[in-house]
């Protein structure tokens, strides 16, 4: 096999990979109820560990998918009754380079664990509306209890 053929195969594979990532992102966003949201996956230091993704609101859950992944399922899932916003701030130091311009960082708790998410102001409005749509810990009324 010649060098030109190897280079052509590598380029074709890269194009197919990028097309698959784009198609996955398009399918996620097409379902509606999505926002672009970054999540801090690792706690190394300021600005380290942020990953870009798309979050999808599904009832009482927020499913977060990494943008640069082919995995069909969500990387993280957050339950609305278990999530609470503790603090809101602007990115500082290296975070300004790791996050999109105009992002707002939220420090939250989810089932006793600290979670940091970042999103644009318009997405923040939707996120907070979803979070406040049902009171945290409010019991759901079953059909038997209602009758």
Model pLDDT for residues 91-110, shown as the tens digit of each residue = 988 888 889 899 999 999 99
Tell me how many helices (H) and strands (E) the chain has: 4, 8
Distance CA 125, CA 52 (A): 19
Long-range CB contacts (< 8 A, 24+ apart) of 102-109? 103/38, 108/83, 108/84, 109/83, 109/84
Do the Cβ atoms of 52 and 66 come closer than 8 Å? yes
Identify the CATH number of the domain in which residue 122 sits.
2.30.29.30
Give me the half-sphere count of Cα atoms (radius 13 Å) on the Cβ side of residue 46. 8
Is 7 part of any domain?
A: yes
Of the candidates 29, 47, 36, the residue with the CA atom closest to the CA atom of residue 127:
36
Residue-wise pLDDT for 62-75, tens only, equals 999 988 777 778 99
Domain that holds residue 8: 3-136
Of the candidates 98, 121, 115, the residue with the CA atom closest to the CA atom of residue 46:
98
Phi-psi region of 136 (alpha: psi -120 to 50; beta: other; left: phi over 0): beta
pLDDT at residue 45 tops 70: no
Is 143 part of any domain?
A: no
Give me the half-sphere count of Cα atoms (radius 13 Å) on the Cβ side of residue 13. 6
Is 20 part of any domain?
A: yes
How many structural domains does the chain have? 1
Q: Is 0.85 surpassed by the pTM of this model?
A: no
pLDDT at residue 118 tops 70: yes
Is 96 part of any domain?
A: yes
Q: Which of the pair, 49 or 143, is modelled with greater confidence?
A: 49
Model confidence at 29, pLDDT cuts 50, 70, 90, reads low
């Amino acid at each position: 096999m010649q060098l030109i053929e190897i280079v052509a195969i590598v380029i074709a594979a890269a194009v197919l990979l990028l097309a698959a990532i784009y198609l996955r992102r398009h399918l996620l966003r097409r379902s509606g109820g999505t926002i672009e949201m970054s999540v801090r996956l690792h706690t190394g230091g300021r600005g380290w560990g942020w990953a870009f993704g798309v979050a999808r609101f599904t009832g009482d859950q927020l499913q977060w998918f990494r943008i640069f992944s082919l995995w069909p399922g969500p990387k993280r899932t957050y339950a609305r009754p278990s999530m609470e916003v503790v603090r809101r701030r602007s990115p500082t130091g290296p975070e300004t380079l790791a996050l999109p311009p105009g992002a707002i960082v939220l420090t939250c708790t989810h089932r006793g664990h600290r979670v940091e998410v970042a999103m644009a102001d318009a997405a923040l409005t939707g996120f907070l509306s979803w979070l406040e749509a049902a009171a945290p810990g409010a019991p759901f009324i079953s059909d038997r209890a209602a009758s």
